[in-house]
């Protein structure tokens, strides 16, 4: 399973890349806005360079499907690791599968986003998306069970040997990460603030403290034994 960071914060990306757990990055217009990135091209350039050949998803910013294709083609020229995020439908619920299909046909890697149901996911995979982004938190907001949706989509992709991969996003708690991992997500995109919580445990701290204390006692004992010789 891969881990992507759901952020546009290059400091966080650099920090967690150094710890060997980052396989890619996802962004969306809300994340860029939160990070104060007003020019997506500028923000992307820094992240693309930082990530080397690891993928970075950048979302189109228009509700017009022709404009989505235009933006998608343009983003894809920015760097070889750019993946273009296309929503499953417009604000009016019209299909964006044609956009996914056209870009995929032109060799652009597409992350089909804002997916909240099994049916949306299988259509996105059929249209040629490299990634289908299931929004766990938003599925749960609506009373759905993200674990069931993730497991069903994974089963279908495997059954039909689809190359599409599930990215689970919209993570709201550490428990969402565990649930997505066990349900069969290929990738989970995690806001960096959750990673220290995944690492830390009060009993791990106590265990490390105990070992360090005993190691110091052993060193002191050896020093005493040497002094007595
Ligand atoms: C990732 O690709 C998504 O854009 C992101 O995880 C959505 O998260 P949200 O539901 O918290 O906005």
- Quote the pLDDT of residue 38: 85
Ligand 1 pocket residue status of 169, Cβ below 6 Å: yes
- Quote the pLDDT of residue 41: 87
Q: Is 135:115 a contact under the CB 8 Å cutoff?
A: yes
Can you give the residue ranges of every domain in the chain? 2-190, 201-229
Ligand 1 pocket residue status of 118, Cβ below 6 Å: no
User: Which residue is associated with the tokens 């979302």?
Assistant: 59
Cα 156–115–130 angle (5° rounding)? 60
What average pLDDT does this structure show over 1-5? 98
Q: Which ligand 1 atom sits nearest the alpha carbon of residue 30?
A: 12
Pocket test for ligand 1, best of 59, 87, 135, 172 (most atoms within 8 A of CB): 135
Q: What is the distance in A from the centroid of ligand 1 to the CA of 156? A: 23
Q: How far is CA 104 from CA 61, 97, 99, 212, in A?
A: 18, 10, 8, 54
Q: Is 14:50 a contact under the CB 8 Å cutoff?
A: yes
Which residue has a Cα nearest atom 11 of ligand 1?
Answer: 170
| Segment 103-147, tens digit of pLDDT | 999 999 999 999 999 999 999 999 999 999 999 999 999 999 999
Question: How would DSSP label each residue in 176-209?
Answer: HHHHHHHHT-SEEEE-GGGHHHHH--HHHHHHHH
| Segment 13-57, tens digit of pLDDT | 999 999 999 999 999 999 999 999 888 888 889 999 999 999 999
Whole-angstrom distance, CA of residue 148 vs CA of residue 133: 15
Whole-angstrom distance, CA of residue 160 vs CA of residue 120: 16
Which residue has a Cα nearest atom 4 of ligand 1?
Answer: 28
Joined together, the tokens standing for residue 47 give 């992240």
Q: Which ligand 1 atom sits nearest the alpha carbon of residue 133?
A: 2
Query: Across 38-169, where does the E strand assignment appear?
Result: 56-59, 82-87, 110-115, 131-135, 165-169
- Quote the pLDDT of residue 87: 98
| Segment 138-171, tens digit of pLDDT | 999 999 999 999 999 999 999 999 999 999 999 9
- Quote the pLDDT of residue 40: 82
Which residue has a Cα nearest atom 8 of ligand 1?
Answer: 170
| Segment 59-104, tens digit of pLDDT | 999 999 999 999 999 999 999 999 999 999 999 999 999 999 999 9
Whole-angstrom distance, CA of residue 194 vs CA of residue 196: 6
| Segment 188-224, tens digit of pLDDT | 999 999 999 999 999 999 999 999 999 999 999 999 9
Among 16, 78, 17, 19, CA closest to 48? 78
Catalytic residue set: 85
- Quote the pLDDT of residue 141: 98
Ligand 1 pocket residue status of 144, Cβ below 6 Å: no
- Quote the pLDDT of residue 126: 98
Whole-angstrom distance, CA of residue 65 vs CA of residue 97: 10
Q: Which ligand 1 atom sits nearest the alpha carbon of residue 113?
A: 2
Q: What is the CATH number of domain 2-190?
A: 3.20.20.70
Which residue has a Cα nearest atom 10 of ligand 1?
Answer: 170
């Amino acid at each position: 399973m891969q881990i992507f960071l759901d952020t546009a914060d290059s400091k966080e990306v650099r920090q967690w890349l150094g710890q060997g757990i980052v396989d890619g990055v996802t962004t969306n217009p809300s994340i860029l806005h939160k990070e104060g990135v007003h020019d997506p091209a500028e923000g992307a350039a820094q992240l693309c360079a930082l990530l080397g050949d690891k993928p970075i998803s950048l979302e189109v910013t228009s509700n017009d499907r022709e404009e989505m294709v235009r933006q998608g083609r343009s983003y894809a020229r920015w760097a070889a690791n750019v993946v273009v995020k296309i929503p499953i439908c417009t604000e009016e619920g019209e299909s964006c599968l044609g956009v996914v299909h056209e870009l995929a046909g032109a060799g652009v890697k597409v992350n089909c986003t804002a997916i909240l149901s099994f049916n949306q996911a299988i259509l996105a995979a059929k249209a040629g998306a490299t990634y289908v982004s299931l929004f766990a938190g938003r599925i749960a907001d609506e009373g759905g069970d993200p674990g069931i949706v993730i497991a069903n989509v994974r089963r279908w992709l495997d059954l039909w040997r689809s190359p599409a991969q599930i990215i689970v996003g919209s993570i709201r708690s550490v428990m969402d990460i565990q649930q997505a991992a066990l349900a069969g997500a290929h990738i989970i995109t995690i806001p960096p603030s959750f990673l220290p919580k995944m690492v830390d445990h009060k009993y791990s701290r106590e265990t490390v403290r105990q070992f360090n204390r005993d190691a110091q006692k052993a060193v002191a004992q050896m020093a005493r034994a040497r002094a007595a010789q």
